[in-house]
Amino acid sequence: MRVSSSTLFDSNVASMGQQQTRLMQTQQQVSTGRRILTPAGDPVAAARALDLSQADAMNTQYASNRNAARHTLSLAESNLQSVTTLLQDVKTATVAAGNGTLNNSDRQTYATELAGRLQELVGLANSTDGAGNYLFAGFQSKTQPFVSTATGMNYAGDDGQRLVQVSASRQMSSSDSGADIFMRIKNGNGTFVTQAAATNTGSGIVSLGGVANPPPTAAQTGNSYTLTFTSATTYTVTGTDAMGGALPAASLPPPNAPYVSGQNISFNGIQFDIQGAPANGDSFTVTPSANESVFKTISDLITALKTPVSNVAPGSSALLAGSLSRGLNNLDNALNKVLTTRSSLGLRLNELDVLQTTGDDLGLQFKQALSQLQDVDYAKALSDLTQQQMSLQAAQQSFVKVSGLSLFNYL
């Protein structure tokens, strides 16, 4: 077979071109540290690497979301810790204000202290996250949630909870409604509220009461009752249902029932007692528990402490004692609501820690898998580079020898 000079040149040039291309690719792999320079180099690995890169990017975003949620939840928990301390201080002051040796001026001092605590509580309830977003405003994060008006404290936020995607399968609330924490607190014992009439002149003090056995039926839970003393030793109970209709006498204690100080009074699944010496005409009400804000509770305590007490009027002392007792109970209910919310915040913060650890491990796995697909094996690449350089040099030197062959050298 005859091989022309043209064929010889073309074949050697093509071979050296291919070797130079492979050498350049290997050199680029070494310089970039990447095994896959273009998807054409390894289509399957390139597609897999794209999927892993997207999954790793999403995992990184979830980590960012978790950090943002942790920041907000930590601030909320810190504020509620301050609220807890404040309510405990208010309870301590209220108990101290109930000391029978204090005079009206002393109680006025405690009222002033509680007024300052109330303003402090409003400030905590209107706390922000440092970026102008209110912590307890629901979805209305740019609106101040608690606004004092002539009729009391109003809530301007909503009940929304901002959800954050903290993992591929988990959304977590990063906020809590201020209405649930500070406004919707059941007063009384959670079922009913006992209260003395403001016009009472006797020294009778009604207890908080509780649910009797058997408990109230569904039809009885909305009933309201009024216990009126027909003499110093007898009382009569009247009642209305949830619609305002009078309850039948057969469902109530008999008229002019005997009264003994401290003895339980039970009917229709409720139970309470009255201590002291009520006067003829004094009355006490039993109404279903309703939502009462912690702001109103403290405001009512301030009003009670500012109201003068007469040493010659036992009724005023009894009203003060009843108001303080009712306020302490409502403060306990508010404190329980705050502690329940803090417990929920703590659980969410703990879950974020677990998710963060899981996310870090997952991110490491993604990076290891990407490294196996994309990163170059330097030992192999450098060995290939050396081999390809030697092959190219040998090809170039042999081409020089072959291209120098000519019949004219022998003529």
- Which residue ranges make up each domain of the chain? 1-33+387-411, 54-183+331-362, 192-290
pLDDT at 314: 79
pTM check: above 0.85: no
The CATH topology of domain 54-183+331-362 is: f41 fragment of flagellin, N-terminal domain (1.20.1330)
- Give, in order, the Cα–Cα distances in Å from 48 to each of 10, 16, 361, 371, 378: 40, 34, 20, 12, 22
Contact (Cβ atoms closer than 8 angstroms) between residue 296 and residue 152: yes
Residues contacting residue 191 through CB under 8 Å, at least 6 positions apart: 210, 211, 216, 221, 270, 288, 289
Tell me the average pLDDT of the chain. 86
What tens digit of pLDDT does each residue of 361-396 get?
Answer: 998 988 887 767 666 656 665 666 677 677 667 666
Residues contacting residue 244 through CB under 8 Å, at least 6 positions apart: none
Geometric angle at alpha carbon 318, from 313 and 322, rounded to 5°: 155
Residue 95 has phi, psi (to 5 degrees) of -60, -45
Per-residue pLDDT band for 281 (boundaries 50, 70, 90) equals very high
Identify the bridge partners of residue 374 per DSSP, sorted by sequence position. Answer: none
Tokens, residue 308: 């003068």
What tens digit of pLDDT does each residue of 70-83 get?
Answer: 999 999 999 999 99
Pick the range with the lowest mean pLDDT from 72-81, 135-144, 188-197, 394-403. 394-403
pLDDT at 300: 95
Per-residue pLDDT band for 315 (boundaries 50, 70, 90) equals confident
- Give, in order, the Cα–Cα distances in Å from 247 to each of 69, 314, 382: 53, 32, 98
pLDDT at 105: 94
